[in-house]
Amino acid sequence: MDRKEAANRITHLRTVIDRHNYLYFVENVPEIGDGQYDKLMSELRDIENTFPDLITTQSPTQRVGAAPLIGFSEISHEIPMLSLSNAFSDDDLTAWYHRLYSMLDDTNFEMACELKYDGLAVSLRYENGLFIQGATRGNGMTGEDITLNLKTINSIPLQLQGEFPQTLEVRGEVYFPKSEFDKFNARRDQEGLHTYANPRNTAAGSLRQLDSNVTAGRPLDVFIYSLAQMDSDLSLGTQLKTLNYLRSLGFKINPHNILAKDTQEVIKYHTSWIQNLASLDYDCDGIVVKVNRLDYQQHLGTIGREPRWATAYKFPAVQAQTRLLDIRLNVGRTGSINPYAVLDPVEVGGVIIKQATLHNADYIESKDLKIGDWVVVERAGEVIPQIVRSDKDKRTGAETYFAMPAICPSCGTILVNRKDEAATYCTNSTCPAQLERLVEHFAGKGAMDIEGMGGKVGISLIQNGLIKDVADIYFLQRERLEQLDRMGKKSVDNLLIAIDESKKQPPERLLVSLGIPHIGSEISSLLLNQFASIDNLVACNQETLLNTPSVGPKISESITEYFGNPDNLKILDKLRSAGLNMVSETVIPSEGIPLLSDLRFVVTGRLENYSRTEIQDLIKKYGGKVSSSVSKSTDYLLAGQDGGSKLAEAAKLEVQIISEHDFETMVAGN
Ligand code: IVH
């Protein structure tokens, strides 16, 4: 066979294999047996082995076998991956419907009802019909590149069918089918390996494997539930038509989606699925109700990170009975005194529950809980376990009431109750327990990421008086550290290096680290994009903040309250004097627009003067964006030595290829 014949045969085989793969894994109606399928695959493999240059990353032979990664790269979601508001009762659902119909001026709009699969959200990108990139949800704005792992999922098409647009991004849920999960655990058990608790967490762990060959051993599956982006004039009109269109491209769409004309029909769907859940081979924790018309969705828009046009109507949670052994207290990082229940360990929905939050004294009283009670505990999806009620019939008289102490269990300060709040607070801003929580948070992975500072070390530094607020972390003296128990010279060195390194963290990380209530990574990035520096944020009033997209009253009040406190401003000053980044690194040239504003770069090959991270940081510093793979929206491919397949990809998509030197010229003088 010559090269040309081989190329033709390969194209033919790939089309045939993709089709049978689709019939088997998506439609569940195979037309050929496993033996015949394997024969086609091995013929394709043989020809590809003879002509390795004809192998493409989307060939069905390339679903497995890629080399392990060292880490995942970050991917920013052009269209954020949103969450859903919740409804827990028919009344909640009806209230949601009524709110929307007054906004839409239509009292009779239709809804798409779908199941709410309890797996992991993923985003899949296609260029010219080929699967080029897949990502996790992450914080909704940035996720991780898990393309290689997703390619191992047979129901994810590597090549689209039918009339596909040039670029397409879809969202869906990856899950571990229950039957496969049971087989997988049984096999592990036989091999003397530990077994896994539930399909969801195992699916999550499988998607985060650096070696995709491990993922390939876990038969994951997917349902696609939305279209994020496509460049096409096709007007799809409604959610259900969109899903039908995606089905025509080869995506796996759940067969149980329906159109509901009113809330009664939604409730019927919800009720019938509560009864039929066991018939499904995947876990669902509710249904998702979506306004069907896309123009209505557009009009309704999103609030915070939730679309107004959709809501999750949850199923009642899984419950179990156990004993409430004790009620203990935690001091939160904001000073709130949080009672929690110590439970006789019990399994609920595949997870062992030992503790449950009790929120505050009012909560304990409203549930009439006594220490020693039999209680019903429940866990709904990812929600923290809760105590639903106590079983008063089982009381023996030996049960005892819990009383909130008058003083902080950590520092002895008299506790206060704030107006309109059920929580009890310790207002001592130097309370060691509060500080312990805060330091733990400050040094945590998603915050300043100071290795060696969390846990025992942080606590010991606080207890020995070396840290009185988080800013003190940056003024620790080597001599004092070396005097502490279990702190050898080496650990001190490492700790000081980690602290110094953390000074380079961008201001959005610093803002998260301060532990301001309601300010997580997503909101923090958004605020620094908007205000460019922490000082600008300090200067903001409620009104300015409220005019910021995605910022509601809870967030704006929390920020103004935090920066309104002189103690906090002192800490901020100290952090500034330690040399921490308070200003977004994006360079704003005199015209006020960052130099590489929103230009998208991909870097490939070995560079002469920079490491990969250095060049990426530099691009970001000048306002550019870095992606890990070339797509139509890439502006420049910055290529060094041995650029590999990205060069061909860039040439094909007519993306401009530049050298390191070209790049330096671009940013010269800045
Ligand atoms: S739509 C903007 N549809 O639920 C709409 N989500 O809490 C956002 N989920 O992260 C998603 N089944 O992973 C949608 N049929 C379905 C879903 C679904 C499960 C998950 C999704 C998302 C989470 C939202």
User: pLDDT, tens digit, for every residue of 55-102?
Assistant: 999 999 999 988 888 889 999 999 999 999 999 999 999 999 999 998
Look up the CATH number of domain 507-577.
Answer: 1.10.150.20
Identify the three-state secondary structure at position 466. coil
Residue 109 has φ and ψ, to the nearest 5°, of -85, 150
Q: What is the arrangement of strands in the sheet containing 167-175, beginning at the earlier edge strand?
A: 130-136, 120-127, 167-175, 221-230
Q: Does residue 312's CB lie within 6 angstroms of at least one atom of ligand 1? A: yes
Q: Which of 4, 116, 367, 456 is catalytic?
A: 116
Which residues have C-beta within 8 Å of that of residue 30, sequence separation ≥ 6?
A: 20, 23, 24
Q: Which of 84, 170, 273, 382 has most ligand 1 atoms within 8 Å of CB, for mutation? A: 84
Residue 121 has φ and ψ, to the nearest 5°, of -75, 135
Dihedral sign of CA atoms 161, 167, 171, 176 in order? positive
CA distance 145 to 202: 19
pLDDT at 119 over 70: yes
CATH of 432-502, one of 1.10.150.20, 3.40.50.970, 3.40.50.300, 2.30.30.30: 1.10.150.20
The pLDDT of residue 224: 98
CB of 373 closer than 8 Å to CB of 399: yes
- Residue 504 CA, distance from chain mean position: 24
Look up the CATH number of domain 319-394.
Answer: 2.40.50.140
What is the greatest pairwise CA distance in the chain?
Answer: 89
Confidence of residue 250 (pLDDT cuts 50, 70, 90): very high
Mean pLDDT score, 122-148: 95
Task: Count CA within 13 A, CB hemisphere, residue 41.
Answer: 16
- Asked if the 3-63 domain carries CATH number 1.20.1440.230, the reply is no
The pLDDT of residue 592: 47
Which amino acid would we find at residue 195?
Answer: T
Q: Which of 437, 479, 431 is nearest to 458 (CA)?
A: 437
Mean pLDDT score, 106-123: 96
Nearest atom in ligand 1 to the alpha carbon of residue 173 is 13
Question: What mean pLDDT value characterizes the chain?
Answer: 91
Tell me, in angstroms, the distance from the centre of ligand 1 to residue 633's CA: 26
Q: Which of 225, 229, 256, 284 has most ligand 1 atoms within 8 Å of CB, for mutation? A: 225
Identify the three-state secondary structure at position 638. strand
Which residues have C-beta within 8 Å of that of residue 245, sequence separation ≥ 6?
A: 227, 234, 236
pLDDT at 252 over 90: yes
Nearest atom in ligand 1 to the alpha carbon of residue 312 is 7
Length of the chain measured in residues: 670
Q: Which residues of 301-326 are buried (b: 16+ CB within 10 A; e: fewer)?
A: ebebbebbbbbbbbbebbebebbbee
CA distance 275 to 312: 18
CA distance 261 to 296: 15
Mean pLDDT score, 24-50: 94
Which is more confident, 268 or 594?
268
Mean pLDDT score, 509-537: 89
Tell me, in angstroms, the distance from the centre of ligand 1 to residue 272's CA: 20
The pLDDT of residue 334: 84
If you ran DSSP here, which 8-state letter would residue 148 be given?
A: H
Q: Which of 84, 79, 78, 80 is nearest to 291 (CA)?
A: 84
CB of 137 closer than 8 Å to CB of 123: yes
CB of 253 closer than 8 Å to CB of 247: yes
CA distance 665 to 636: 14
Q: Which residues of 594-624 are buried (b: 16+ CB within 10 A; e: fewer)?
A: bbbeebbbbbbbebeebeeeebbbbbbbbbb
Bridge partner residues of 238 (DSSP)? 293
CB of 164 closer than 8 Å to CB of 245: no
pLDDT at 24 over 90: yes
CB of 585 closer than 8 Å to CB of 594: no
Tell me, in angstroms, the distance from the centre of ligand 1 to residue 57's CA: 29
The pLDDT of residue 584: 86
116 labelled catalytic: yes
CB of 403 closer than 8 Å to CB of 337: no
CA distance 209 to 231: 32
Q: How many helices (H) and strands (E) does the chain have?
A: 24, 24
Tell me, in angstroms, the distance from the centre of ligand 1 to residue 311's CA: 9
| The two three-digit tokens of residue 367, written as one number | 């549930």
CATH of 600-666, one of 3.40.50.720, 3.40.50.10190, 3.30.70.270, 3.60.15.10: 3.40.50.10190
| The two three-digit tokens of residue 245, written as one number | 């269109």
Q: pTM here?
A: 0.62
| φ/ψ bin of 476: left (φ > 0), alpha (ψ from -120 to 50), beta (otherwise) | beta
Identify the three-state secondary structure at position 650. helix
CATH of 85-314, one of 3.30.200.20, 3.30.2130.10, 3.30.565.10, 3.30.470.30: 3.30.470.30
Q: What is the pLDDT of residues 567-583, one digit of tens each?
A: 899 999 999 999 999 99
Domain ranges across the chain: 3-63, 85-314, 319-394, 432-502, 507-577, 600-666
Residue nearest ligand 1's atom 23 by CA: 83
pLDDT at 259 over 60: yes
Confidence of residue 380 (pLDDT cuts 50, 70, 90): low
The yes-or-no answer to whether 319-394 and 600-666 have a common fold is no
CB of 75 closer than 8 Å to CB of 142: yes
Distances (CA, A) of 6 to 19, 40, 49, 630: 20, 14, 11, 28
If you ran DSSP here, which 8-state letter would residue 641 be given?
A: B
Lowest mean per-residue pLDDT among 157-166, 245-254, 473-482, 628-637: 628-637
Q: Does residue 226's CB lie within 6 angstroms of at least one atom of ligand 1? A: yes
Lowest mean per-residue pLDDT among 94-98, 239-243, 555-559: 555-559
CB of 452 closer than 8 Å to CB of 495: yes
| The two three-digit tokens of residue 321, written as one number | 């009975």
CA distance 628 to 124: 14
Which residues have C-beta within 8 Å of that of residue 52, sequence separation ≥ 6?
A: none
